[in-house]
Structure 1
Amino acid sequence: MQTHEIRERFTQHFVNAGHTAVPSASLILDDPNLLFVNAGMVPFKPYFLGQQNPPFPNGTATSIQKCVRTLDIEEVGITTRHNTFFQMAGNFSFGQYFKEGAIKHAWSLLTNPISEGGYGFDPERLWVTVYLDDDEAAEIWEKQVGVPAERIQRLGMADNYWSMGVPGPCGPCSEIYYDRGPEYGKDGGPIADDNRYLEVWNLVFMENERGEGIGKDNFEIIGPLPKKNIDTGMGVERIACLLQGVDNVYETDLLRPVIDIAEQLTGATYGTDAQNNIRFRVIADHSRTAMMLILDGVTPGNEGRGYILRRLLRRIIRSARLLGAQGETMAQFMNTIMDTMTPSYPEIAGSRERILNVAINEEKAFLRTLESGTKLFDDAAAAVKAAGGTELNGAEAFALHDTYGFPIDLTLEMAAEAGLKVDEAGFHSLMAEQKARAKADSQAKKHGHTDLSIYREWVDEHPTDFVGYDNLESEAKVLGMVAGGEKLSVATAGQEVEVILDVTPMYAEAGGQLGDRGLIVAGDARLVVNDVQKIGKKLWVHKAVVEGGDLAIGHSVTASVDKQWRHAARQAHTGTHLIHAALRQVLGPTAVQAGSMNKPGYLRFDFNYTEALTPEQLKEIEYIANQAVDTDWQVNTIETSLDEAKAMGAMALFGENYGSRVRLVEIGGPFSMELCGGTHVDHAAQVGPIAVLGESSVGSGVRRIEAYSGLDSFQYLSKERALAAGLAASMKAPTEELPERIAQLSEKLKQAEKELSDLRRRELAAKSMKYVEAAHDVNGFRVVAAQLPAGVAASDLRTIATEMKDKLAGSAAVIVLGVQDGEKAPYIVAATPAAVSRGVKSGDLVKVVGEFVNGRGGGKPDMAQGSGTNANGLAAGFEAVKSELEKL
């Protein structure tokens, strides 16, 4: 049974039982506790916590959620059951059925014949576990389902009590295991051997809320949830493994094709070598995870989600290289995994080119890193050998890994080829320190998560009625107020307060558009609203300052939007859509939105693209956007279903989770059609002129365009015109001749700088000759030790030292120079090859000078530099160097 059929049978089983089928959420959700969605229940978390009412007719739902877990990336492939990406099929009940319903639904799907829509598992091969004191679940399994008591086992909190690992919903669980047979391990059930008895389904009886804590069993149970809920998770990959009759998840229909391609590209064979097997599995697992992350809008970077993606892609490249691959392999891996996953995720087809571009560009960059890392390794290895050593120290191996992205196993392999060892203990110690820092930072971020429980009452019972699309003013009632995390009954003059109204015309920040500004007025009470935010996507919270009077709960008020603010905000938001459409015309469909921000008069638009835009491309984007303004297309908003909007050609954004009804903003028919909840002008001409300020990089594979709209655009262009006019007047040339005149001046300046540089070089050469002639002997070394006159810049020291080295190349010579450069005392030590062969290490000698000038420095055996703060110590430092030379 193919994986896509396993998915279809699961969904249909629960739809037939009255559940609402919910599409998988993006892997990226707005949750400060999670880097990626890591469990099937995560998108339903607000319903379990009671922060929102579930929007499902029967209070039940089913989904097959994309999940990513990356805590132990290094362990991938060592076991054959775990993946970084996996699909969690689940059924959910929000206050409807509980233990009995969850157990019977799962059992029937697993054991019903294939001809009746089930998976056809032999009931005699299924075992279950329950929480230690959960007699109710054990009785249901035995008395109602018919599982023999000897195949029901009890486990403790670490195994059979579920939570996300962070504060949130939790509860006891019951797990279902499949006995794979004696050839996989010993008898005795899951307690005896969890390799033979493979867990396939976890039924969580979610009834409590957990607090802070570490680990699976070291946390506080805060109390019961508002309702008893069901959250189950069936591992699609594990079911596929069993139904396809293969030993592990890497040999299923989704991953085995990638291993086959890896065999072709590397010449290695899967299944013949334990270490190589791990590398094949890493390629298969990480290719799928990386592809799915890119699909959901993640791009490689140096922190957060981008760093995880970059790490996954680089581990693929590294593993392929260690298996014997030469050159680029990413295109073949990505194409293969997209072929296997598209039947389950049809949206891959529309993003294929973009996914390939992101992965291939990262591969090219990393291959360059490998090339530069190899050179750095060669230098480090040569230094070790020159010093008579046999081991590359852990700090150098860590620097290659951490700073340059050079994998440790490649370092080990190359060291062995060079006849050297690597201080692995030192390397792993530094890695452990880095991980500890990262974990502490992660915990700090989790603890900073805002407690939103104070708003739960309003979210559940009084969601805000937003009327701001059609009205800039409305009558409303004050439902609640919050200040300093506490509920208020009355707010007084001067107080900062969050106000909850039953109705509001003010837009809450969302979709990149900042929240409205405005007023709340009731009699003598006057509140200035400076921001509006959403809680749980249902509640509008007005952040305001009481300018005068008192406001109490229950007061009738008039809420009004700052009209000028809204007008300029609408201009910028519609301008963002025009820029997006223009950008896709110029760059093609692979330039996909990666974020935006618009406020009155200003917009910025981030998009996935790997190259800087040319001035011509920027000019064309600006022209197309303004052409749309000039055409004065009507801006239409249409409320429809998500499927209908997509059928019309609307763009959905990565990381956004849309409900069953969506708002489609259409400008000029096919010119721009996006799902968007923001506020917009009625006609494109109302945007006013759009002035593109420029574009820049905001991360690997992500570019940003910034622009002004409306009057802000006019003012910007007016200043630019005045600046050009001023330059034209000073140069006594027409404005249109300015570029040519400036280019001529620039060329003259470059020529003058070159002449000055040549003159300075000749002067430095003459100075160096004077000091070389004064060199004296120290223990067989020709030594130049001199403090150069003030005026010689720190940047000149290397040039002078190199000149001296060249003139003394035929002898064992050591050059020690320093200078007072303002408050600093830069210095340098250089040694000829003959001096290095006698044991001179400039990197050590530069530290000797540093002791006398309060300085630090380092470098290679032939040249090292440093800088201190006490130029008066240079002479003593030079003498100390001579003393060190006397000892050699």
Structure 2
Amino acid sequence: MKTAEIAQRFLDYFEKNGHTIVPSASLVTDDPALLFTVAGMVPFIPYLSGDVPAPYARAADNQKCIRTNDIEEVGKTPRHGTFFQMLGNWSFGDYFKEGAIRFAWELLTSPEADGGLGFDPKDLWVTVYEEDDEAFELWQTVAGFPAERIQRLGKDTNYWSTGLPGPAGPCSEIFFDRGPAYGVDGGPATDDDRYVEIWNLVFMQYEITNVRSKYDFDIVGELPAKNIDTGMGLERIAFIKQGVDNMYETDQVRPVLDKAVELSGRTYGANHDDDVRFRVIADHVRSSLMLMSDGVTPSNDGRGYILRRLMRRAIRSMRLLGVDGPTFAELFAASRDAMKDAYPVVETDWARISQYALAEEATFLRTLAAGESILDESLGQTKAAGGSTIAGAEAFLLHDTYGFPIDLTLEIAEEAGLTVDRAAFDTLMQEQRSRAKADAKARKRQLADTSVYRDLRALGETVFTGYTDLETSSRVLGILVDGVPVDRAGTGQIAEVILADTALYAESGGQVADKGVIVGPGYELEVIDVQKPVAGLISHTVEVTSGEVGVGQAATSIVDAANRRSARQAHSATHLVHAALRDTLGKTATQAGSLNRAGYMRFDFTWGQALSDATKTEIEEIANNAVRDNLEVTTRVLALDEAKSLGAMALFGEKYGDTVRMVDIGGPWSRELCAGTHVSTSAEIGLISLVGESSVGASNRRVEALVGLDAFRSLAAERALVSQLTSTLKTPREQLPARIAELTASLKAAEKKIAAFEAKALGDRLPALAAAAARVGDALVVAESLGTAASADDVRSLALQVRERLGSDAVVVALGAEVNGRPVVIVATNDAARRAGVKAGVLAKGAATVLGGGGGGRDDVAQGGGTDASALPAALASVKDALAS
């Protein structure tokens, strides 16, 4: 049974049983506490917690998920994958334990010919929470399940909570017994790979508080509406139904594994280590494909870092299989072909996805080449010093700074007959993880507990009137101070105010929040920010500038009209620039993010190289021609599928509901899904002036522009500057570039002459410096300050000349100078001095410490620097002191 067929059988069954079929949410969640959708329940959290009323009593879905906390287990067990699909059925205050058990049992054990999954009951086991007698009895009465195959387990396995105050409850898990060939008898309690968990039924019935850990908390009481949250692992069902040993050999994953086998020339099933690598490649390539299809791009932080890590682990695994060159073109194409029937976007968006994948692979292959060069130098130095172990700090530097994998460091070191201080490396890694966890915990503590909005959201969805009105009368539904509900807030306090209706735009879709005020009887509030803490609820962060505001009072929201006008201009200009980019560069130049505020727009898009001046001018001209043509701007609210069929552009990773707002500028020329505020006709934008274009990561570019009056002011300032230059240089405007180039060339020639004079002046000091050599211990030492110098290279050159002039006895030369206002010390040693144990790097580092900086280098020549030029004499004296001791 194919994976897609299993998913369809699940959805068909629950649709037949009165469930609304909900499409999968994006892998990119809008939950601020999470980077990704890590479980099937994430999109339903607002409904399960009661923060937002559920739009349906029953639902079912097939949710895409990404989870990387067990990334080291990928490939080693039959079930661990970073990307997986979770089938779920949900009840929001409708059916409870009996219904959940009945549905699960019927679907699992009904014959395939009747639309079921055809599991033999004798192959199944069940676990329940050790205190849940009700579930234990229901499994026997509803499913006729034998008591001897129902096991009671503790909170660590059979109790669900988020680890935060809120809903929680016991769960019941269904396991498939793979048979004695896969492990010992004894059921799921043995925690053996023989028993594969295939479905988890969570009975969300309690409210918890005083959470001390995920499994240590106080139960306040039962929830007013009990919910059902289930999760069936699609990949796990697939590998069982397809008769293979693990999820990596299923129909949606195996093609990538087979392609890796073909490219490497090695055999799958012949070597355990190679098998793990093949599985890692298959899993990580598929996960990367799916992440990029939802708009994630490789970067050094957040979601982009997770994607980059997955891709680089795949590259590393191919490397360990003996393949040094690029392979992503073929591996990603294999994954695309395996996934496109279930997720057509991986094919329709293939040009963009492959562009990112190939660029990231090329970058990391260069990283590997650079890392190997650094590692080779470290290996050589270790061997030269008679050592046998690469320091853990050096291996960590390669890993942390250069992205060079530790297992490649181990492999290359072993080939060179050396080892790596793995214990020291692991210690440094653990310290880094501890810092990261502390940062994450601190971030999590700073996140608002959205449960405080639950009662407010239950009063209804905030009505946004700002598309048509800049002033709206309403009433105060709630007030929060420091996240705690209060009845009123007085002068000087910062508070969150929830209104039934508002004209103020909440930050979303790249557009920043409106500025404005909220006024009412006897009070005035200055609006600091406007956000949507939960879906459908708009919260205003305000400062009470006068009076006292209370719950239930009348309130009028008033938008700063000038600021809104400029923000609308900027947002509409962003749409024009996007359309102009696609006209100029082609359809693969798609939006990757934006920011719009009054007078300014920033637009990120997929593109692999810098734009030429001619291209930037063309984009700017197309956008401004659209302004000149006074194109009509229209908005329509329609079904998401209809909007997509009309060619509306959507921002990757953005979450859209069943109905969306589509903005047209000039008809289909610019057609995007957008909830922002816009002008009525393009001429209202006024002017678009591109002021910057830069890289924001591999295959990502950014253009910035000023809009409207801000653009005019910027161009007026440039005009004034040009006028000043023409006056000062007595040159017509059109001749300014040539005149400035001429002056620049003259200046460079003058600087070159001055540098030559300074270098000669330093060179003339060579005899005197050599004559100043004094014996310190067994070495001839020159430690002198040169005053000022044009560059550190001049000082280095002179130090080497002095060293050569002093002959073959042990020689140490330390010269100091002030270069561009900062002190520099160069230390040079000859062969005889180095044989005696004198190292230039050590001496330069010591001198730099005196200067308030750092330094080091090779044993023969090294450099140090700092911030305190007045300490040069003392720094040079420290060289002599070190030699004397």
Give TM-score scaled by structure 2 length: 0.94
419-428 or 835-844: which moved more? 835-844
Structure 1 residue 389 and structure 2 residue 387: aligned? yes
Corresponding residue of 2:874: 873
| CA distance in structure 1 between the aligned counterparts of 2:273 and 2:521, rounded to whole angstroms | 77
Amino acid at match of 2:129: Y
Structure 1 residue 77 and structure 2 residue 75: aligned? yes
Contact between 1:850 and 1:877, CA under 8 Å: does it hold in 2?
no
The Cα shift of 1:430 comes to 0.9
Per the alignment, do residues 811 and 217 of structure 1 end up closer, same or farther by CA in structure 2, a change over 3 Å counting? farther
Structure 1 residue 111 and structure 2 residue 115: aligned? no
742-751 or 370-379: which moved more? 742-751
Unpaired runs of at least 5, structure 1: none
| CA distance in structure 1 between the aligned counterparts of 2:166 and 2:298, rounded to whole angstroms | 30
Corresponding residue of 2:152: 154
Structure 1 residue 140 and structure 2 residue 154: aligned? no
Amino acid at match of 1:685: A
The Cα shift of 1:765 comes to 3.7
163-172 or 641-650: which moved more? 163-172
Corresponding residue of 2:178: 180
Amino acid at match of 2:4: H
Correspondence 1:286-435 to 2 at 5 A: 286-435=284-433
Contact between 2:599 and 2:710, CA under 8 Å: does it hold in 1?
yes
| Pairing partner for 1:602 from 585, 600, 603 | 600
| Pairing partner for 2:481 from 480, 483, 486 | 483
The Cα shift of 1:646 comes to 0.5
| Pairing partner for 2:539 from 519, 538, 541 | 541
Corresponding residue of 1:97: 95
Corresponding residue of 2:202: 204
Corresponding residue of 1:680: 678
| CA distance in structure 2 between the aligned counterparts of 1:269 and 1:838, rounded to whole angstroms | 55
Structure 1 residue 640 and structure 2 residue 638: aligned? yes
154-163 or 556-565: which moved more? 556-565
Corresponding residue of 1:560: 558
Amino acid at match of 2:280: V
Contact between 1:850 and 1:866, CA under 8 Å: does it hold in 2?
yes
Per the alignment, do residues 557 and 445 of structure 1 end up closer, same or farther by CA in structure 2, a change over 3 Å counting? closer
Structure 1 residue 259 and structure 2 residue 260: aligned? no
| CA distance in structure 2 between the aligned counterparts of 1:511 and 1:212, rounded to whole angstroms | 36
SS at the partner of 2:402? coil
The Cα shift of 1:834 comes to 5.8
Structure 1 residue 54 and structure 2 residue 54: aligned? yes
157-166 or 639-648: which moved more? 157-166
Contact between 1:828 and 1:866, CA under 8 Å: does it hold in 2?
yes
Corresponding residue of 2:16: 16
Corresponding residue of 2:281: 283
Q: Deviations over 1:65-110 (max 9, x none)?
A: 1111112333322223201111111111111111111111111111
The Cα shift of 1:141 comes to 0.6
Q: Deviations over 1:711-770 (max 9, x none)?
A: 222222221222222212222222222222222222222333333333333344443464
Contact between 1:49 and 1:225, CA under 8 Å: does it hold in 2?
no
| CA distance in structure 2 between the aligned counterparts of 1:687 and 1:722, rounded to whole angstroms | 24
Corresponding residue of 2:45: 45
Per the alignment, do residues 243 and 686 of structure 1 end up closer, same or farther by CA in structure 2, a change over 3 Å counting? same
Amino acid at match of 2:658: S
Contact between 2:815 and 2:876, CA under 8 Å: does it hold in 1?
no
Per the alignment, do residues 113 and 370 of structure 1 end up closer, same or farther by CA in structure 2, a change over 3 Å counting? same
Per the alignment, do residues 523 and 248 of structure 1 end up closer, same or farther by CA in structure 2, a change over 3 Å counting? closer
| CA distance in structure 2 between the aligned counterparts of 1:289 and 1:218, rounded to whole angstroms | 34
Per the alignment, do residues 600 and 855 of structure 1 end up closer, same or farther by CA in structure 2, a change over 3 Å counting? closer
| CA distance in structure 1 between the aligned counterparts of 2:213 and 2:330, rounded to whole angstroms | 40
SS at the partner of 2:36? coil
Correspondence 1:578-727 to 2 at 5 A: 578-727=576-725
SS at the partner of 1:596? strand
SS at the partner of 1:191? helix
| CA distance in structure 2 between the aligned counterparts of 1:771 and 1:661, rounded to whole angstroms | 82
| CA distance in structure 2 between the aligned counterparts of 1:76 and 1:149, rounded to whole angstroms | 34
SS at the partner of 1:758? helix
Q: Deviations over 1:299-357 (max 9, x none)?
A: 22222222211111111111111111131111111111111111111111121111111
| CA distance in structure 1 between the aligned counterparts of 2:348 and 2:758, rounded to whole angstroms | 59
The Cα shift of 1:612 comes to 2.3
| CA distance in structure 1 between the aligned counterparts of 2:737 and 2:288, rounded to whole angstroms | 46
Amino acid at match of 2:525: L
SS at the partner of 2:127? strand
Contact between 1:814 and 1:830, CA under 8 Å: does it hold in 2?
yes
Per the alignment, do residues 452 and 742 of structure 1 end up closer, same or farther by CA in structure 2, a change over 3 Å counting? same
Give TM-score scaled by structure 1 length: 0.94
The Cα shift of 1:228 comes to 1.1
| CA distance in structure 2 between the aligned counterparts of 1:393 and 1:31, rounded to whole angstroms | 41
Pairwise CA RMSD of aligned residues?
2.5
Contact between 1:478 and 1:553, CA under 8 Å: does it hold in 2?
yes
The Cα shift of 1:437 comes to 0.8
Per the alignment, do residues 833 and 53 of structure 1 end up closer, same or farther by CA in structure 2, a change over 3 Å counting? farther
Corresponding residue of 1:36: 36
601-610 or 346-355: which moved more? 601-610
Contact between 1:46 and 1:52, CA under 8 Å: does it hold in 2?
yes
Amino acid at match of 2:203: F
| CA distance in structure 2 between the aligned counterparts of 1:445 and 1:805, rounded to whole angstroms | 56
Aligned residues: 882
Per the alignment, do residues 174 and 412 of structure 1 end up closer, same or farther by CA in structure 2, a change over 3 Å counting? same
317-326 or 527-536: which moved more? 527-536
Structure 1 residue 520 and structure 2 residue 518: aligned? yes
Q: Deviations over 1:249-289 (max 9, x none)?
A: 11111222112111222222222122222211221111111
| CA distance in structure 2 between the aligned counterparts of 1:772 and 1:226, rounded to whole angstroms | 92
| CA distance in structure 2 between the aligned counterparts of 1:566 and 1:387, rounded to whole angstroms | 68
Corresponding residue of 2:248: 250
| CA distance in structure 1 between the aligned counterparts of 2:242 and 2:193, rounded to whole angstroms | 17
| CA distance in structure 2 between the aligned counterparts of 1:806 and 1:436, rounded to whole angstroms | 51
555-564 or 866-875: which moved more? 866-875
The Cα shift of 1:223 comes to 5.3
Q: Deviations over 1:130-168 (max 9, x none)?
A: 001111111111111011001100111111112345555
Structure 1 residue 785 and structure 2 residue 790: aligned? no
SS at the partner of 1:476? strand
Contact between 1:157 and 1:216, CA under 8 Å: does it hold in 2?
no
Contact between 2:847 and 2:876, CA under 8 Å: does it hold in 1?
no
Q: Deviations over 1:522-563 (max 9, x none)?
A: 344443434322231212223334444444433334433232
The Cα shift of 1:438 comes to 0.8
Amino acid at match of 2:587: P
Contact between 1:26 and 1:654, CA under 8 Å: does it hold in 2?
no
Amino acid at match of 1:48: L
| CA distance in structure 2 between the aligned counterparts of 1:182 and 1:84, rounded to whole angstroms | 28
| CA distance in structure 2 between the aligned counterparts of 1:282 and 1:805, rounded to whole angstroms | 56
Unpaired runs of at least 5, structure 2: none
Correspondence 1:845-884 to 2 at 5 A: 845-849=843-847, 856-867=854-865, 869=868, 870-883=871-884
Contact between 1:500 and 1:542, CA under 8 Å: does it hold in 2?
yes
750-759 or 65-74: which moved more? 750-759
SS at the partner of 1:789? strand
| CA distance in structure 2 between the aligned counterparts of 1:767 and 1:263, rounded to whole angstroms | 67
| CA distance in structure 2 between the aligned counterparts of 1:65 and 1:716, rounded to whole angstroms | 48
Structure 1 residue 463 and structure 2 residue 464: aligned? no
Amino acid at match of 1:704: R
Amino acid at match of 1:873: A
623-632 or 861-870: which moved more? 861-870
Q: Deviations over 1:370-420 (max 9, x none)?
A: 111111112112211222212111111111111111111211222122222
Amino acid at match of 1:871: L
Corresponding residue of 1:748: 746
| CA distance in structure 2 between the aligned counterparts of 1:582 and 1:603, rounded to whole angstroms | 14
| CA distance in structure 2 between the aligned counterparts of 1:808 and 1:668, rounded to whole angstroms | 80
| CA distance in structure 2 between the aligned counterparts of 1:43 and 1:105, rounded to whole angstroms | 22
| Pairing partner for 1:271 from 269, 277, 292 | 269
Identity %: 52
Amino acid at match of 1:354: R
Corresponding residue of 2:444: 446
